[in-house]
A and B are shown apart, each in its own frame.
Chain A
Amino acid sequence: MSEHAVAAPAFRVERWTWVSVAFTGGLTGLVALLALGPVLLSENSQNNLIQLYFLVTLAVMWNALAGYGGLVSVGQQGFIGIGAYGAVFFSLQHSLNPYLSMLIATLIGGVVAIPVALVVLWLRSGAFAIATWVIAESFAILVSLDPNPAIGGGTGTSAILPFNLRYTPEQRLHYTYWAALGTVAVLLVLLFALLRSRVGGSLQAIRDDEDAAASVGVRVLLGKGILFVIAGAGCAAAGAIILAWQLSILPLGPDSIFGINWTAKMIFMVLVGGIGTFEGPIIGAIALYVLQTYGPNGGVWYFVLLGGIAIGFALLLPRGIWGTIQERFDVRLLPVGYRLRQIGGAR
């Protein structure tokens, strides 16, 4: 027998590295600073930032589904529409405060996600994608057929009235800004807490290898269900913000509130930023925002560029900007996940 006694290297499990502590602290500080936006920034900047906030919301939600749950949904726009129309409905029909309506609409989004999940979660990825798209289309058609004048049917509706009755345009801008920032912050914290919890661990296991996860008892469907409901509520929240921001909405057409273009944007943001990472979608949203603000102004070339960049990333940088950085430099800014540190060893 060999005489060597091989000493097993000792390892220490770390969650918070100094980098992640610094970054999390910095991020919290940034949010606090941004909250002062209405005081410090111009109207134009606030307007733009609202856009950035709801883009981040959408990107983070889509990434939660696809990156952590392996669920490629082509129908999240259904929930965006629910959020927007829900907000209009409660503020117009029931004369509730528009921001309260937005909150209710968000909750409705989460609630509607439950029966939808029961229908689609059992499907394999191809059928799942198509089914989510069909459901979103169905919502859009139902809304367009609704005779209720508050909904406005095929010609759409607007929230101008409920807002203008209570707030000046400046107030609407400020409150919407805070609502948007708050939404992003709450969802990020929620997701962060989820990923660090036991459910989160099982979600990452599902992402890495679903069959293996199931074989060690991970409740795969439950994890996916939770993600789906959160994404439903999150996209509805984004839809409500979008309504408060642009005021008028239409139900049908690729550019509508129920339009497939929202999914195009979500896919772009998540792909470019880095699918399955926590920081990735934020970066992707910033990238899209930059493209929107400084790139060709809407229309054909904007979308050609959008699609082309998405394809390029899918082929050349499939892990996205952040995913590639993370892999290359082994950086983790936010403490989701674990690092194995060898005691007494390098690294």
Chain B
Amino acid sequence: MTWVSAIVHGILLGGVYALLASGLALMFGVMRIINLAHGSLALVGAYMSFLITEHLGISPYLSLAIVLPGALIVGYALQRTVLERSLRAGPLVPLLTTFGLLIVIANLLQYFFSPDVHSLDEGSIGLKAISVSNELAIPWFDVLTFGVAVVVLVGLQLVLRYTQVGRELRATAEDADTAELVGINARAVYARATAVAVATAALAGVFYGMRSGFDPNAGASELLYAFEAVVIGGMGSLWGTLVGGVVLGVAQLVGAQINNEYFALSGHLVFLVVLVARTALGVRGVGFRIRFVRRSVA
């Protein structure tokens, strides 16, 4: 791999992280919840897709038609049962319950599916690549994944900006108490947000499963990378998540270019540098909308 190749693949890798991270950013932006079980839920999505493709013989892409609605329901239920109570119990509690969920899910997956590696078949697209030069070939599947990430982020952004559901979500995120006073059912809003977040996680899990093999303990690293992407991009900012993912992906692959073993470490280093720089400069984060504070003429 050349440097250019590392950067290009790093950008595409950023798309994978952004897809996984979009749900994290949503949940944090709306509810200030850090869902440590997000990666586990993505993995469940991959395993569900595996079961469906095995038993129904359809492609993983088609399996999404079942996996996604299922994930929406699971997310809604998760919020109404566990996360809602966690939120009420205190600001630290959701961190603790989602951590418990992470442990439980990982181990249950291990029990039901064994520690063996499984994978999903991405179909013929997996064999095609754009041949840019002798050293640079861009796999179509990676482009597809990046595209899906962009579509999800654009979609979420559009819903937030232009629909009543999105307005309610933003209002509730800013002031849940007052939102209730203008007729918004805050608990339903939160549940919708979690439902969408889990659905994006499942989507990310299926794509991850097509991209590489997975086992019950997989995704632990990827989860951390997704979190890094969210934090680099400015927590709760959707576009920031894409920027963060790309920054991380590029850092990781450029680092790997120097030495194969430096893959994760270079990502961590860039992550920490960004955090320190941001704290030192007092900047809130990449991707935050720059607000024009206009003093209106009264």
Contact = CB atoms under 8 A, between A and B. Distances in A.
Any A–B CB pair closer than 8 Å: yes
Interface of A: 66, 70, 72, 74, 119-120, 122-127, 129-131, 133-135, 137-138, 141-142, 145, 254, 260, 263-264, 267, 271, 275, 300-301, 303-304, 306-308, 310-311, 314-315, 318
Contact of B272 (A119, A142, A264): A119
A126 B272 contact: no
A254 B235 contact: no
Nearest to B84: A315
A70 B86 CA distance: 16
Given A123-B275, A315-B97, 5 more contacts: A72-B96, A134-B272, A311-B104, A314-B89, A318-B93
Interface string B193-229: 0000000000000000000000001001000100110
Contact of A311 (B82, B90, B110, B227): B82
Given A126-B28, A303-B103, A314 B272 contact: no
A275 B82 CA distance: 19
A314 B228 contact: no
Contacts of A263: 99
Contact of B228 (A123, A125, A126, A130): A130
B272 A318 contact: no
A314 B279 contact: no
B123 interface: no
14 contacts: A125-B34, A126-B28, A126-B34, A130-B34, A131-B272, A141-B264, A264-B99, A264-B103, A267-B99, A303-B106, A304-B103, A304-B111, A311-B101, A314-B86
Closest 7 CB pairs of A and B: A307-B103, A307-B104, A311-B100, A310-B100, A318-B89, A307-B100, A300-B107
A209 to B, nearest CB: 12
Which one of A123, A138, A300 has the greatest number of beta carbons of chain B within 10 Å? Answer: A300
B268 A138 contact: yes
Contacts of A135: 268, 272
Contact of A318 (B34, B90, B102): B90
Contact of A131 (B102, B265, B269, B275): B275
Given A129-B34, A137-B268, A300-B110, A315 B104 contact: no
B80 interface: no
A125 B91 contact: yes
Contact of A122 (B104, B106, B272, B279): B279
A133 B111 contact: no
A72 B100 contact: no
A315 B111 contact: no
Interface string B13-54: 000000000000000100010101000000000000000000
A314 B28 CA distance: 19
Contacts of A126: 28, 32, 34, 231, 235
Contacts of B92: 66, 70, 72, 125, 275
B154 interface: no
**Chain B: number of interface residues, binned into ranges:** 35 or more
A308 B32 CA distance: 23
Contacts of A130: 34, 224, 227-228, 230-231
B95 interface: yes
Contacts of A138: 265, 268-269, 272
Given A127-B275, A271-B96, A315-B97, A133 B107 contact: no
Contacts, number: 124
A81 B170 CA distance: 42
A197 B188 CA distance: 46
Contacts of B110: 300
B167 interface: no
A119 B276 CA distance: 6
B104 A304 contact: yes
B283 interface: no
Given A125-B91, A267-B99, A303-B107, A260 B220 contact: yes
B165 interface: no
Contacts of B116: none
B104 A308 contact: yes
B271 interface: yes
A155 to B, nearest CB: 14
Contacts of A124: 235
B100 A314 contact: yes
Interface in B239-298: 261, 264-265, 268-269, 271-272, 275-276, 279
A127 B25 CA distance: 12
B108 interface: yes
A129 B95 contact: yes
Contacts of B101: 307, 311
Nearest to A264: B103
A306 B89 contact: no
Contacts of B269: 138
B85 interface: yes
Contact of B224 (A120, A134, A145, A306): A134
Contacts of B100: 267, 306-308, 310-311, 314
A56 B271 CA distance: 33
Contacts of A254: 217, 220
B264 A137 contact: yes
B235 A145 contact: no
Contacts of B261: 141, 145
B111 A300 contact: yes
A307 B107 contact: yes
Q: Which of B92, B102, B227, B228 has the most chain A CB atoms closer than 10 A to its own CB?
A: B92
